[in-house]
């Protein structure tokens, strides 16, 4: 990497030195019996060496990365994003000789300890802890994979804002959460040099709600992580067998995911040999979903698994006949890509972001219309050829979503941000 400014700044003083040194060295070498041509070659070689070393030193970036959400237990979308993107950016940057510092809550075994700076704070980790480190660390650029920017930061910073669901569905969040998320997003939009978003939908949201300039926003689509090989032994843990046909949902059991309507729509279907498997831990509104299931005629065929690990998720997805994702709001929709990866046909709510991610590879339904959800489920259950076509289109759609590609784009944006 050879930044133009670095070359210009080091070129001028070295060139002036060369102009002065050249005639002096010519006289010296002539006096000692050496030819003027020889002396000129020596001076030129010394100048080129100085120029190369100076350019190299100026091209090395000090990159700070907020790795506080990396590898946390029971990870959700933000943690998965942090894990995948930090791993790859770290390798890209260090392979090119850049100095990368990861700011962490605890030492991460995946990286050299000397490249990690531990901030031991339970509260105000970003606002206070990371701010103090930025005050004394003085990196060239800071990258924050989740959308809270420290109060004290380097002149150049880039931040990923995943969504603004707290503005569209405020009742899902506590008052404290809403105030904090609204303030931190507004602060990031105003003070970050560069805003990254996972979708055009989130870009439009930031422009509409926070009046963020479009020129400041970069859309970098997420990739999809490979799942472990499927092991059918996990089916028995959840009361399933290899022969069972079931619709699966993966995500948090909460109001935004629209699962009460999914439960009622599924319960109205005539397909009594099918089951509904809801995978994920509970969030706001989970009790409404549990109540809808417990009062349903299909309650014996509705299974709640709570949180599952990657091996269990791989098993459940690979054995599912249909993936249903009738969410009311998403910033991207990673579970849809995981369904594509396991060749599971997908039914989604017909909302802008899921149209952007899934395009024609998903069957879209109106999320507020239970009868439309039921009709979509019924049609996909009955039409095997439709499911097969969707699996093929989903596999093709995956080509547009790759973590290596996302990391390369993000790294290039960090370089642009610095310059």
**Per-residue tens of pLDDT for the chain, all 419 residues:** 334 444 444 444 445 455 555 565 555 555 566 565 655 565 555 555 554 444 444 468 999 999 999 876 556 788 999 999 999 999 999 999 999 999 999 999 999 999 999 998 878 899 889 999 998 888 999 999 988 999 999 999 999 999 999 999 998 999 999 999 999 999 999 999 999 999 999 999 999 999 999 999 999 999 998 899 988 999 999 999 999 999 999 999 999 999 999 999 999 999 999 999 999 999 899 999 999 999 999 999 999 999 999 999 999 999 999 999 999 999 999 999 999 999 999 999 999 999 999 989 999 999 999 999 999 999 999 999 999 999 999 999 999 999 999 999 999 999 999 87
* Residue 162 near residue 177 (C-beta atoms within 8 A): no
Asked if 298 and 414 sit in the same domain, the reply is no
Two tokens at 381? 């259950």
Two tokens at 333? 């929709």
Residue after which a domain boundary falls, among 59, 81, 105: 59
Angle at 333 between CA 329 and CA 337, to 5 degrees: 155
Asked if 338 and 209 sit in the same domain, the reply is no
* Residue 145 near residue 85 (C-beta atoms within 8 A): yes
Asked if 254 and 191 sit in the same domain, the reply is no
Q: What is the pTM of this model?
A: 0.82
Asked if 149 and 213 sit in the same domain, the reply is yes
Contacts 24+ apart (CB under 8 A), 393-400: 393/359, 393/360, 393/361, 394/339, 394/340, 394/343, 394/345, 394/346, 394/358, 394/361, 394/362, 395/340, 395/343, 396/361, 397/340, 397/358, 397/359, 397/361, 398/224, 398/337, 398/340, 398/341, 400/221
C-alpha 80 chain-centroid distance = 7
Asked if 206 and 241 sit in the same domain, the reply is no
Reference 317, options 230, 222, 393; nearest CA is 230
How many folded domains does the chain comprise?
3
Asked if 156 and 239 sit in the same domain, the reply is no
Asked if 112 and 248 sit in the same domain, the reply is no
Asked if 341 and 271 sit in the same domain, the reply is yes
d(CA 2, CA 297): 67
pLDDT digits (tens, 9 = 90+) for 111-136: 999 999 999 887 889 988 999 999 88
Residues of the domain holding 378: 232-400
Asked if 35 and 79 sit in the same domain, the reply is no
Asked if 47 and 70 sit in the same domain, the reply is no
Residue after which a domain boundary falls, among 42, 59, 76: 59
Q: What region, left, alpha or beta, does residue 253 occupy, with left being phi > 0 and alpha being psi -120 to 50 degrees?
A: beta
Asked if 356 and 239 sit in the same domain, the reply is yes
Asked if 187 and 244 sit in the same domain, the reply is no
CATH number of the domain residue 413 falls in: 3.40.50.2000
């Amino acid at each position: 990497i050879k930044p133009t400014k670095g070359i210009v700044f080091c070129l001028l003083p070295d060139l002036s030195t060369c102009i002065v040194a050249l005639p002096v060295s010519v006289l010296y070498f002539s006096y000692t019996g050496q030819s003027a041509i020889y002396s000129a070659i020596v001076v030129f070689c010394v100048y080129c060496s100085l120029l190369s070393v100076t350019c190299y030193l100026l091209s090395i970036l000090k990159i700070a990365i907020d790795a506080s959400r990396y590898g946390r237990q029971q990870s959700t979308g933000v943690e998965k994003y942090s894990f995948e993107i930090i791993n790859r950016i770290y390798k890209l940057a260090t392979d090119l000789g850049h100095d990368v510092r990861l700011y962490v809550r605890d030492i991460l075994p995946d990286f050299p300890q000397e490249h990690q700076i531990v901030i031991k704070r339970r509260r105000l980790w970003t606002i206070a802890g990371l701010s103090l480190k930025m005050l004394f660390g003085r990196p060239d650029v800071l990258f924050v994979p989740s959308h809270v920017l420290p109060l004290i930061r380097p002149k150049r910073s880039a931040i990923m804002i995943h969504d603004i669901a707290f503005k569209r569905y405020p009742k899902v969040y506590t008052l404290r959460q809403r105030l904090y998320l609204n303030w931190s997003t507004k602060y990031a939009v105003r003070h970050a040099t560069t805003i990254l978003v996972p979708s055009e939908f989130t870009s439009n949201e930031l422009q509409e709600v926070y009046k963020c300039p479009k020129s400041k926003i970069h859309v970098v689509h997420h990739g999809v992580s490979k799942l472990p090989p499927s092991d059918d032994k996990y089916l028995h843990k959840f009361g399933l067998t290899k022969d069972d046909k079931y619709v699966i949902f993966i995500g948090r059991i909460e109001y935004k995911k629209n699962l009460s309507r999914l439960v009622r729509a599924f319960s109205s279907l005539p397909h009594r040999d099918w089951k509904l498997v809801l995978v994920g831990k509970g969030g706001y509104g989970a009790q409404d979903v549990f109540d809808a299931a417990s009062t349903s005629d299909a309650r014996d065929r509705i299974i709640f698994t709570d949180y599952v690990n990657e091996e269990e998720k791989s098993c459940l997805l690979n054995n599912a006949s249909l993936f249903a994702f009738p969410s009311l709001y998403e910033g991207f929709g990673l579970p849809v890509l995981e369904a594509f990866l396991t060749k599971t046909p997908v039914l989604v709510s017909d909302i802008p972001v899921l149209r952007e991610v899934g395009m024609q590879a998903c069957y879209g339904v109106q999320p507020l219309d239970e009868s439309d959800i039921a009709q979509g489920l019924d049609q996909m259950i009955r039409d095997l050829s439709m499911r097969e076509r969707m699996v093929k289109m989903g596999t093709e759609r995956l080509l547009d979503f790759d973590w290596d590609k996302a990391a390369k784009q993000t790294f290039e944006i960090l370089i642009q941000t610095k310059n």
